[in-house]
Amino acid sequence: MNHDQASTPTSSKSAPTVAELAAVDRLLVVCDFDGTLAWHSSDRLNVPVDENAIEALRRLALMPGTDVVILSGRMMAELSEICPLDPPVRKVGSHGAEPEGSENLLTDGQQAALDAITEQLEALCEGNPCFVEFKPFQRGLHYRPVAGTPMAEQMRQAALNIDPHGAHITDGRMIVEFSVSDATKGTWIAAERERLNPDATVFLGDDTTDERGFAVLSENDLGVKVGEGETKARARVADIPGVAAWLTELADARAARA
């Protein structure tokens, strides 16, 4: 394998194997939800999940020295409804802006920015099936309803061209999202690693927003990209069943270690 030093300037160490990850004392497993554990569906609140992946995460969360967190772009109110995992698995919503049990207090400036963004995005959706998603710290224009038509790219461009009023913009998969929070999956994972100080962190995800998570991982950690596309992750699985197989292998190896 050709190791590109330029893309990994901090280390030439190869990515840890599943066996190496399973053997550490303290392991943090962070997993995206949509597109990683669950398939996309036209009904956002009724998405099919991969039961094998869910079961592997359940098993891991019950093992000593193992923390399991679902880190989703969805707001917590939706995530808690659709993700069939219970404590000790933890859930974090809105790309890290909504840890479990947090209160969402917007400043007047953040609220004003969100209102202005909402007005512009709703104008774009008039007369077509695209829609605006409301989250405590974000608004997102979903153009999945027109996927596969020329309108998808037109909606994406139009959304990218609105006045963001200082919000952070993410050009995601079938969504352009505006956030008035500074939290990203990267800032959340970095803070959680600081807090728990695990020997290794694993993060699995499929979308643009997950790249910010992969980017903060160190040489002992492993990012696992789901599907095709450019990525900073050092491992890749093809699809959601691939996630299930990978997590099951990790759970089996960690169970055998005790």
Interface ranges with Mg ion (CB under 5 A) = 32, 34-35, 206-207
- Write down the least CB distance from residue 78 to Mg ion, Å: 13
- Write down the least CB distance from residue 33 to Mg ion, Å: 6
CA distance 190 to 181: 16
Task: Name the residue nearer to Mg ion (CB basis): 135 or 254.
Answer: 135
Task: Name the residue nearer to Mg ion (CB basis): 34 or 211.
Answer: 34
- Write down the least CB distance from residue 160 to Mg ion, Å: 20
Task: Name the residue nearer to Mg ion (CB basis): 225 or 254.
Answer: 225
> C-alpha distances in angstroms, 127 versus 122, 130, 131?
10, 9, 10
Per-position DSSP letters for 7-31, written without gaps between them = G-TT--PPPPPHHHHHTSSSEEEEE
Query: How is residue 76 written in tokens?
Result: 């917590």
From the list 128, 159, 134, 163, the residue with the least C-alpha distance to 146 is 128
- Write down the least CB distance from residue 256 to Mg ion, Å: 30
Look up tokens 């956002």; give the residue: 44
Task: Name the residue nearer to Mg ion (CB basis): 177 or 206.
Answer: 206
Query: How is residue 160 written in tokens?
Result: 């990218």
**CB-closest chain residue to Mg ion:** 35
- Write down the least CB distance from residue 147 to Mg ion, Å: 15
Task: Name the residue nearer to Mg ion (CB basis): 37 or 121.
Answer: 37
Measured from the Cβ of residue 18, the count of other Cβ atoms closer than 10 Å reads 18
Task: Name the residue nearer to Mg ion (CB basis): 155 or 204.
Answer: 204
Q: Which ranges of the chain would DSSP assign to H, the alpha helix? A: 18-22, 51-61, 76-82, 108-125, 150-160, 185-196, 208-215, 240-257
Task: Name the residue nearer to Mg ion (CB basis): 50 or 206.
Answer: 206
Q: Find out whether 24 and 200 touch, Cβ atoms under 8 Å.
A: yes
Per-position DSSP letters for 198-231, written without gaps between them = -SEEEEEE-SHHHHHHHHT--TT-EEEEESSS--
Query: How is residue 99 written in tokens?
Result: 């840890």
- Write down the least CB distance from residue 131 to Mg ion, Å: 18
- Write down the least CB distance from residue 9 to Mg ion, Å: 27
